[in-house]
Chains A and B, each alone.
Chain A
Amino acid sequence: MNLLNLANIKKSFYGVEVLHSVDFSLKAGTVHALMGENGAGKSTLMKIIAGVHKPDSGTISIDGKSVEISNPLEARHLGIAMIHQELTPVNEMTVAENVFLGREPVRMGLIDHKKLYSQTKELLDKLNISIDPREKMKNLRVADQQMIEIAKAISQNARIVIMDEPTSSITDREVEILFKLIDDLKSKGTAIIYISHKIDEILRISDEISILRDGFNVGTWKAGEIDVDTIIRNMVGRELTAQFPKVNVPIGEKILEVKNLTLKGQYEDISFDLHKGEILGFVGLVGSGRTELMDSIFGLTQPDSGRILLNGKEVRFKGPKDAIRSGLAYVTEDRKQEGLVLPMSVHHNVTLTFLRNFVRHGIIQSRKEVSVVRDQVRALNIKTASVSQTINSLSGGNQQKVVLAKWMITAPGIIIFDEPTRGIDVGAKVEIYKIMCEYVAQGNAIIMVSSEMPEAMGMSDRIIVLSNHKYSGELKRGEFSEEAIAQLQFKHMVKSLIN
């Protein structure tokens, strides 16, 4: 019998039906992957299961018994837990305090801290998670915070765990840890609904795969009976020519040289060159110093020593402003934290980097501004009702394109991309890759930091691997392989593990 059964679920928002009679079933002790482009209805369906939304019609049953889930608390009582893509830990509290938030063990009216920590320790041990329960949440990496979130769900006796893009911000090694945990959960009878855009992962860990498209359930397959092409075709409803539309561009002269750049504790003695027409990949585990290095190149932090040469001339950026004026752009890892001003419109976000271009006698020439924004919206195919729409109303892929647009208008010679396609759907990914290719074809250059191995290998001309804050090696396009990269990633790890 199915653990969870949804039949004929319909849901409309503002008169628009976003789910059309969707059926979905989940068996105990299995992983059921849910795929679909952004806007296909995955989130809505999951929010219905988690009690955030109520379906307009249709039935939900657990263990064959019809249930009504009218709020998240009821969902929790029914054993349903959702791990959101964007985690919301209480940063200043410890791991244990987060796990038992709202249901702390109490003795004589006071929190029993001893029990709190021992219970958490027990829980984490059971799940093979080696994190100190007394560590403050803010000191944990995103991946570890995710583990804690899962542990929390398990401690609440969750039988159905919904994971929304759990691997969007963690490295491959951490993914392995997560998958091991998922296997453990499965063997204990927990059912997992796994939402992800990463097809490789899904084929690896799921037992069943359902694909949603435009609010319809296109179908459910056993994992062994479906391949990558079929998945993509069903998701987008059309054939995608290639996942990585890499175009080979002649590599030109040197545009950027980084020499012996060091910032103690972040990255050490890093040297590399970047050429026109090149996409230079940067790979390394989270914490290997990739982002910190990019921050310094863009002037957000100051290196302790080393030199940066741009077109042969030494530069020293005191801040992002200097970097921008010298033709650099930085698409940061986290578009909501660092890329976009959420309460602002698309239009105002796009021109933020280059307002001086639109000013005459101190006054912004809004007509010129809007026309440039419209051009970008068209060029990058940003789907928005109007340019005055606020950023919040856009999907992840379109938000990322707005970040891109705001840098494109500065006509940079070099764009640094930190995780260019994190958390966006396949269709939008391909579009962003195409934009990247067009951009370097015009004689520009890209530095791309990526945690997604296929992306790094699919798009880069060269890959530089960082390991434990140090340069550990470089691979040319012909030499790419997951093994070679992984070896380099761990090159400087072994010694550091000893001390």
Chain B
Amino acid sequence: MNNLSSGISARNKLSARQFVSTFGSLIGLIVLVILMTILKPTFIGGANIRNILRIASINGLLAIGMSFVIITGGIDLSVGAIMGCAGMYSAYFAQTKMGYPWWVAVAVGLGMGLLIGLFNGICIAYLKVPAFVGTLGAMSIAKGFTFLLTDAKPIPSLNNEFKFIGGGNIGGWLPVPIVIMLVVLVICFTLFYKTRYGRYVFAVGGNHNAAHISGINTKAIICSVYAISGLLAALAGVITTARVTSGVTSTGDGYETNAIAMVVIGGTSLAGGRGRLWGTIVGILLLQCLTNGLDMLGVNAYYQLIIKGFVVIGAVMLDGLRND
């Protein structure tokens, strides 16, 4: 703030900086899309966009759930493992030979996610286990249950209705995962900005004591965000399993880091209390477009990792400028 003396007036310079830190990721996304369209016109084609959005919806579910958790000042490392666990258990019940209807399989998968999420929540909110440790433990536990089910063997031949959830198209062109994602988004936006619940999530993350004294059941709020995160991770696991048409124990491996990256790119603070859902959506799209674009350009996967790492750090760095 000391050296605001150059040609532009201080006010303009400040708002320019704030603009960049607020919309930096969005600008990044737009630039990326334009760049890719120039380099590979097929990037902007309907088929590719649909492809990006379909994959984005899987990661997006995790990132949306993670947003709830991070805004309360927590972290959920178990979402990848929950994905795998929910995927396997739903696949088990979706096998043609078992003869259960598709929704039983889905319910079992989601139930697993909700259960592990609640377990996280209870440990963290009521038993005072730090979120990092609690969800790290849950990650291992969920993995164990995933392997136990079939002795780590894949589960093939799932029934067709179940597979439709991941691979089907509505009206022949709109992938089901995108529809699910949109429904979840509408619900979460409403929760976040239109209900007491959303307000309380922000309040708990922003100042736990003040929230408590204001009469908010802070423990219940903290517990619930992990349940939501677990449930959404399970949904992502079910969709992925349905899409690849078999239960695989490695589903979701490493997805937690992607989810965290998407949330922080969107400008949500790991310290809690500060964040925006649309930012997370930008984060999801930015990382997904980047992956897709680099794939189309034929960039080596190892280079892709390096590039993505810099993008995550760069985005958060821009966001930090605001607090200078």
A residues with CB within 8 A of B: 12-15, 53-54, 298, 300, 319-321, 323-325, 330, 332, 337-344, 348, 351-353, 355-356, 359, 362-364, 406
The answer to whether A352 and B10 have CB atoms under 8 Å apart is: no
The answer to whether B196 and A364 have CB atoms under 8 Å apart is: yes
Complex formed: what's the CA distance from A399 to B215 in Å?
19
Question: A344 contacts which of B10, B206, B217 (Cβ < 8 Å)?
Answer: B206
The answer to whether B206 and A338 have CB atoms under 8 Å apart is: no
Closest-CB distance, A229 to chain B (whole angstroms): 38
Closest-CB distance, B161 to chain A (whole angstroms): 32
Question: B202 contacts which of A13, A53, A300, A344 (Cβ < 8 Å)?
Answer: A344
Complex formed: what's the CA distance from A338 to B216 in Å?
13
The answer to whether B11 and A15 have CB atoms under 8 Å apart is: yes
Q: Mark B195-226, 1 if CB is under 8 A from A, else 0.
A: 11001101100110111111111000000000
Question: B209 contacts which of A15, A54, A338, A344 (Cβ < 8 Å)?
Answer: A338
Closest-CB distance, B199 to chain A (whole angstroms): 6
Q: Decide if B98 is an interface residue (CB 8 Å cutoff).
A: no
Question: A338 contacts which of B10, B195, B199, B213 (Cβ < 8 Å)?
Answer: B213
The answer to whether B210 and A338 have CB atoms under 8 Å apart is: yes
The answer to whether A341 and B206 have CB atoms under 8 Å apart is: yes
Closest-CB distance, A92 to chain B (whole angstroms): 16
The answer to whether A342 and B195 have CB atoms under 8 Å apart is: no
Closest-CB distance, A35 to chain B (whole angstroms): 26
Closest-CB distance, B179 to chain A (whole angstroms): 23
**A410 closest partner in B (C-beta):** B215
Complex formed: what's the CA distance from A332 to B273 in Å?
21
Complex formed: what's the CA distance from A468 to B121 in Å?
40
The answer to whether B215 and A340 have CB atoms under 8 Å apart is: no
The answer to whether A14 and B14 have CB atoms under 8 Å apart is: yes
The answer to whether A332 and B213 have CB atoms under 8 Å apart is: yes
Q: Decide if B1 is an interface residue (CB 8 Å cutoff).
A: yes
Which interface residue of A12, A54, A341, A344 has the most chain B CB atoms within 10 A?
Answer: A341
Q: Decide if B274 is an interface residue (CB 8 Å cutoff).
A: yes
Known: A321-B215, A352-B214, A353-B215. A340 touches B207 (CB 8 A): yes
Closest-CB distance, A301 to chain B (whole angstroms): 12
Known: A352-B199, A355-B199. A324 touches B206 (CB 8 A): no
Q: Which residues of B contact A364 (CB under 8 A)?
A: 194-196, 199
Interface set, chain B 158-206, CB cutoff 8 A to A: 190, 194-196, 199-200, 202-203, 206
Question: A321 contacts which of B2, B202, B209, B217 (Cβ < 8 Å)?
Answer: B217
Known: A13-B10, A53-B2, A362-B195. A341 touches B203 (CB 8 A): yes
The answer to whether B202 and A15 have CB atoms under 8 Å apart is: no
21 examples of A-B residue contacts, CB within 8 angstroms: A14-B14, A15-B10, A300-B213, A319-B212, A319-B217, A320-B213, A320-B214, A320-B215, A337-B209, A338-B207, A341-B203, A343-B202, A348-B199, A348-B202, A352-B210, A352-B214, A353-B214, A355-B200, A356-B196, A359-B195, A362-B195
Complex formed: what's the CA distance from A53 to B206 in Å?
29
How many of chain B's residues touch chain A, expressed as a range?
Answer: 20 to 34
Complex formed: what's the CA distance from A340 to B207 in Å?
7
Q: Decide if B9 is an interface residue (CB 8 Å cutoff).
A: yes
**A351 closest partner in B (C-beta):** B199
Complex formed: what's the CA distance from A323 to B203 in Å?
19
Which interface residue of B10, B11, B200, B210 has the most chain A CB atoms within 10 A?
Answer: B210
Known: A344-B273, A353-B215. A14 touches B207 (CB 8 A): no
Closest-CB distance, B105 to chain A (whole angstroms): 30
Known: A343-B274, A344-B273, A363-B194. A14 touches B10 (CB 8 A): yes
Complex formed: what's the CA distance from A198 to B201 in Å?
39
Complex formed: what's the CA distance from A301 to B2 in Å?
46
Closest-CB distance, A359 to chain B (whole angstroms): 6
**A52 closest partner in B (C-beta):** B2
**A323 closest partner in B (C-beta):** B215
Q: Which residues of A contact B214 (CB under 8 A)?
A: 320, 324, 352-353, 406
Complex formed: what's the CA distance from A406 to B216 in Å?
13
Q: Which residues of A contact B215 (CB under 8 A)?
A: 319-321, 323-325, 353
Q: Which residues of A contact B217 (CB under 8 A)?
A: 319, 321
Q: Which residues of B contact A12 (CB under 8 A)?
A: 10
Which interface residue of B1, B14, B209, B211 has the most chain A CB atoms within 10 A?
Answer: B209
Complex formed: what's the CA distance from A236 to B210 in Å?
32
Q: Which residues of B contact A348 (CB under 8 A)?
A: 199, 202-203
Q: Which residues of B contact A15 (CB under 8 A)?
A: 9-11
Q: Which residues of B contact A356 (CB under 8 A)?
A: 196
The answer to whether B196 and A340 have CB atoms under 8 Å apart is: no
Question: B210 contacts which of A324, A325, A340, A351 (Cβ < 8 Å)?
Answer: A340
Closest-CB distance, A338 to chain B (whole angstroms): 5
Interface set, chain B 69-100, CB cutoff 8 A to A: none
Q: Mark B10-53, 1 if CB is under 8 A from A, else 0.
A: 11001000000000000000000000000000000000000000
The answer to whether B202 and A341 have CB atoms under 8 Å apart is: yes
Q: A14-B11, A319-B217, A363-B195 are in contact. List 9 more A-B contacts (CB 8 A).
A: A15-B10, A53-B2, A320-B212, A320-B214, A343-B274, A348-B199, A352-B199, A352-B211, A362-B195
The answer to whether A343 and B210 have CB atoms under 8 Å apart is: no
Which interface residue of B196, B200, B214 has the most chain A CB atoms within 10 A?
Answer: B214
Q: Which residues of A contact B213 (CB under 8 A)?
A: 298, 300, 320, 330, 332, 338-339
Complex formed: what's the CA distance from A423 to B273 in Å?
25
Complex formed: what's the CA distance from A321 to B210 in Å?
12
Complex formed: what's the CA distance from A100 to B18 in Å?
38
Q: Which residues of A contact B273 (CB under 8 A)?
A: 341-344
Closest-CB distance, B2 to chain A (whole angstroms): 5
The answer to whether A352 and B11 have CB atoms under 8 Å apart is: no
Q: Which residues of B contact A337 (CB under 8 A)?
A: 207, 209-210
Closest-CB distance, B73 to chain A (whole angstroms): 11
The answer to whether A363 and B207 have CB atoms under 8 Å apart is: no
Complex formed: what's the CA distance from A353 to B212 in Å?
10
Complex formed: what's the CA distance from A330 to B214 in Å?
9
Closest-CB distance, A401 to chain B (whole angstroms): 16
The answer to whether B216 and A352 have CB atoms under 8 Å apart is: yes
Question: B211 contacts which of A332, A341, A362 (Cβ < 8 Å)?
Answer: A341
Closest-CB distance, A17 to chain B (whole angstroms): 12
**A53 closest partner in B (C-beta):** B2
Closest-CB distance, B221 to chain A (whole angstroms): 12
**A340 closest partner in B (C-beta):** B210
**B272 closest partner in A (C-beta):** A343
Q: Which residues of B contact A325 (CB under 8 A)?
A: 215
